[in-house]
Structure 1
Amino acid sequence: MKTPTDYHGGYWPSQEDTYLLEAILLPKDAALEAWEKWLRTVNYEALQEGPQRMFPLLYMKLRKEGVEHPLMQRFKGIYRRAWYKNQMTFHRIRPLMEALDEAGVRTVILKGAAMIALYYRDLGLRPMNDFDFLIRLSDVAKALPVLKKEGYEPIDGTWEMFDEELFYFMHGFGFRHTQTGQELDLHWHLLRENCGTHDDDALWQRVQPVDFNGFSTYTLDATDHLMHTCVHGLEWNPVASIRWIADAKTIIDNSEIDWPRLLDDARTRHVVLPLLYSLRYLWERFHASIPEDALTGLEAIEPKRIEYYRDAVKRYGENLTFKEELLKRIYMYLNYVQARSKRPYAFLNPVWAFSFLKLYWRLSSIWQIPGELAGLSVRVFKRAVT
């Protein structure tokens, strides 16, 4: 299988962001050289949110190496702000976690909260915009009333939209507290690529206990953390997504990864491409401690065709041509059908097609689909002639 060699464009970091990551992740001499290159190329005042999220880690690395620079005070301020905001987030989320526990819903913290609890162990090092956690698909019906009672409302949605069909279409949904504005992502599947009823069963047997702000809950084991970080991270985002690189290398450097199991999961979950691309990138550019036989093992697995569709969509995100936009819809449909049926050629069944369109357009009835299709045809025609 052909793997990337240049790592440019799409979901890969820019040259400026690469210098920033190298300054954080490489050994002293190489890190300080990258720091000087970053200073020469960056327009600090025009930086987007993505790189700024890395400043707390940069601040700690430079302070450790004895670097003195006028920007250090700014980095220190960003670190302190991240510490305060995360402290507030953890304080606001804990009552919800306790209420879910009382309702019999087991929670598994993900992403930033898990990285802070297990690896960074410093509230200021990993800025978070929201709070992510996973629950069992079978517990969603118990969890939603708890969220509503605790003051959370769906973002860009209504409570009525949560039915069984939605759980095969989406891996989670965002909520916001009506008073504090605190946002969270509730996941009932770990990955959007795997929305089948039993896709996460093995994962739940491996979760490990963790202390979250004095409350005992659960998180993923290191191997599942690495898989989730890489697959979720390798996706184009309007805010440059580069912190997954620091997170993934931190997990690898501070954990024992079950590499054979990771390869098995890549095959069964159909995430060979994102794992191969991300791990080879970490190995080549940041010297992550990844066994070479793990990389060659991934290269030996032939990805499913849907993975190539998915990668084309995730690589460029919103900057898609009409053909790529169509490809995105096809990928989403195939993903939906894959979660609903294991039969060959199930995607040809019109029942699944109508169910998908109803969910995609958030319609209350399939009888509204013809009107939506007519409107879509008009928009496509206008786009073609202008």
Structure 2
Amino acid sequence: MPTMPASARGEDSATPVAAVSSTMRLLLAAALLPRDQAAEAWRSWLAAVDFEDLEDGATALLGLVARNLPELHAGDAIDGRVRGVQRQTWAGNQVLWSAVRPLVDRLGTVAGPPLLLPPTALVPAFDGAWGARPWHRIELALHAEAVAGVRSALASTGWPVDHLTPRLLAWTRAGLVGRWQATDAAGNWVSIRWQLLRGIGSQVADEQLRGAALSTTVGSARVHLLHPADALVERLWNAPDDLGPGWIVEVVALARRLEVAQPELGVDPNAGPARFASRARSLGLSGVLRERLDVVADVLDDPAVSSARAALDRTRRGAVEALWSLPGPVAGVGRTWAGHAAGQGLVGGARSVLRVRRAVAQVR
């Protein structure tokens, strides 16, 4: 049965800390902070590292550094390497998108435009720069009722589907499977998400986020994007275990989108942080989202992150949040109930738990 993520907060868990070294913090500052601060961080980073032996994750940030600092002033050899990484990232993302684009179009025909999730969904946040960050995968979200059509779309566009058995389809349709994954012969990877918020059993929560999604075009394909406030909720909640630099980049980019006027998407920058906080409270997730914003703020001092954090501070703790944070022997039951109560209250959550129990019995 879906429950809240184990990493959210258990009875013995400590405040989360990002797995980010001191030199990686400098590189993140060079990639994300305003020009003068970024240039200073870039110089400090260059002085602290061996460019021939970079730590894991550093190379992936160089495209953002090149975008943030047009004049790198690191010497011809390093400047050339950084620009080369940016070009390789752009080319790799283009190849991946070209492989997945027929599937996106086919899904639009059989199930409606899919919801595009980060990292690809962040292209607008980086002003359309396809070389800012390597994607590695394309992540799409669809409604579980579309499972048969999605399997057909995968098969008709050349993705292997042998692992998508009738039993797996039944479990997915019942809301018991969070995602599908497929890899083509060239190693391109696509992920189909059936739950927007990992471990949240409430279908109402997913429907609320989908219902507020915005229609747009990415790479000439028609897709939906989560409203910026909901996208920040999704990224914070679905955080990786290491809370690493790639995730921090995504959180900062999305927090900044809350404060950017986007009239074509109907986004009011003055209401962005408040809308984010309201959604977090209605889902009962304010506590863990606050903790994760603190993680980001500890690594990078960004006003947009602080604004989102302050908006959460202005909300009151709701019944659902109190439920999932129950300590001791009842913690597991509390998290399960809270996950199903997200967006629909305690009574709706109890009904959702019973629905899932019935669904499990039917598909066994």
TM over 0.5: yes
Aligned match of 1:288: 303
Aligned match of 1:380: none
Contact 1:50 1:242 in 2 (8 A): no
Aligned match of 1:221: 227
Distance, in Å, in 1 between the alignment partners of 2:166 and 2:127 is 36
Aligned match of 1:181: 187
Kindly tell me: are residues 266 and 245 of structure 1, through their superposed partners in 2, closer, same or farther at Cα, counting changes over 3 Å?
Answer: closer
Letter in 2 for 1:62: L
Q: Secondary structure at the match of 2:290?
A: helix
- Deviation per CA, 1:59-109: give whole Å up to 9, x if none: 222324655463221111111111001111121111111211221333111
- Which of 277, 293, 297 aligns to 2:314? It is 297
Per the TM alignment, residue 194 of structure 1 is displaced from its structure 2 partner at its CA by 2.3
Letter in 2 for 1:23: A
Aligned length: 335
- Matches for 1:239-278 after TM superposition, within 5 Å: 241-252=247-258, 254-255=260-261, 256=269, 258-278=272-292
Per the TM alignment, residue 29 of structure 1 is displaced from its structure 2 partner at its CA by 3.1
Q: Secondary structure at the match of 2:87?
A: helix
Query: TM-score, structure 1 length as denominator?
Result: 0.71
Distance, in Å, in 2 between the alignment partners of 1:67 and 1:253 is 33
Contact 1:23 1:35 in 2 (8 A): yes
Contact 2:137 2:190 in 1 (8 A): yes
Query: TM-score, structure 2 length as denominator?
Result: 0.75
Kindly tell me: are residues 51 and 94 of structure 1, through their superposed partners in 2, closer, same or farther at Cα, counting changes over 3 Å?
Answer: same
Aligned match of 2:57: 50
- Which of 294, 303, 324 aligns to 1:306? It is 324
Per the TM alignment, residue 331 of structure 1 is displaced from its structure 2 partner at its CA by 9.2
Distance, in Å, in 2 between the alignment partners of 1:343 and 1:34 is 48
Say yes or no: does 1:28 pair with 2:35.
Answer: yes
Q: Secondary structure at the match of 1:200?
A: helix
Letter in 2 for 1:147: L
Aligned match of 1:361: none
Kindly tell me: are residues 71 and 328 of structure 1, through their superposed partners in 2, closer, same or farther at Cα, counting changes over 3 Å?
Answer: farther
- Which of 182, 207, 210 aligns to 1:201? It is 207
Bigger mean CA offset, 273-282 vs 191-200: 273-282
Say yes or no: does 1:89 pair with 2:96.
Answer: yes
- Deviation per CA, 1:281-300: give whole Å up to 9, x if none: 55563232343741422575
Letter in 2 for 1:50: G
Contact 1:114 1:219 in 2 (8 A): yes
Contact 1:140 1:188 in 2 (8 A): no
Letter in 1 for 2:275: R
- Matches for 1:328-343 after TM superposition, within 5 Å: 342=348
- Deviation per CA, 1:183-217: give whole Å up to 9, x if none: 11111221113232322222222221211222222
Distance, in Å, in 2 between the alignment partners of 1:346 and 1:99 is 32
Q: Secondary structure at the match of 2:192?
A: strand
Distance, in Å, in 2 between the alignment partners of 1:71 and 1:277 is 37
Stretches of structure 2 that go unaligned for 5 or more consecutive residues are 1-13, 262-268
Contact 2:229 2:276 in 1 (8 A): yes
Q: Sequence identity, in percent?
A: 18
Per the TM alignment, residue 125 of structure 1 is displaced from its structure 2 partner at its CA by 0.7
- Matches for 1:9-20 after TM superposition, within 5 Å: 10-20=17-27
Stretches of structure 1 that go unaligned for 5 or more consecutive residues are 1-6, 310-325, 359-363, 366-386
Kindly tell me: are residues 158 and 76 of structure 1, through their superposed partners in 2, closer, same or farther at Cα, counting changes over 3 Å?
Answer: farther
- Deviation per CA, 1:130-155: give whole Å up to 9, x if none: 00111122222321222123222369
Distance, in Å, in 1 between the alignment partners of 2:164 and 2:339 is 19
Distance, in Å, in 1 between the alignment partners of 2:165 and 2:47 is 48
- Deviation per CA, 1:315-353: give whole Å up to 9, x if none: xxxxxxxxxxx99998996688769x9565998x9x959
Distance, in Å, in 2 between the alignment partners of 1:269 and 1:192 is 13
Bigger mean CA offset, 250-259 vs 26-35: 250-259
Distance, in Å, in 2 between the alignment partners of 1:346 and 1:160 is 22
Letter in 2 for 1:144: R
Q: Secondary structure at the match of 1:87?
A: helix
Distance, in Å, in 1 between the alignment partners of 2:259 and 2:231 is 13
Distance, in Å, in 2 between the alignment partners of 1:249 and 1:46 is 32
- Which of 140, 145, 151 aligns to 2:147? It is 140
Distance, in Å, in 1 between the alignment partners of 2:160 and 2:115 is 21
Distance, in Å, in 2 between the alignment partners of 1:127 and 1:72 is 19
Kindly tell me: are residues 60 and 181 of structure 1, through their superposed partners in 2, closer, same or farther at Cα, counting changes over 3 Å?
Answer: same
Per the TM alignment, residue 250 of structure 1 is displaced from its structure 2 partner at its CA by 4.2
Distance, in Å, in 2 between the alignment partners of 1:69 and 1:246 is 30
Contact 1:86 1:128 in 2 (8 A): yes
- Aligned Cα RMSD in Å? 4.0
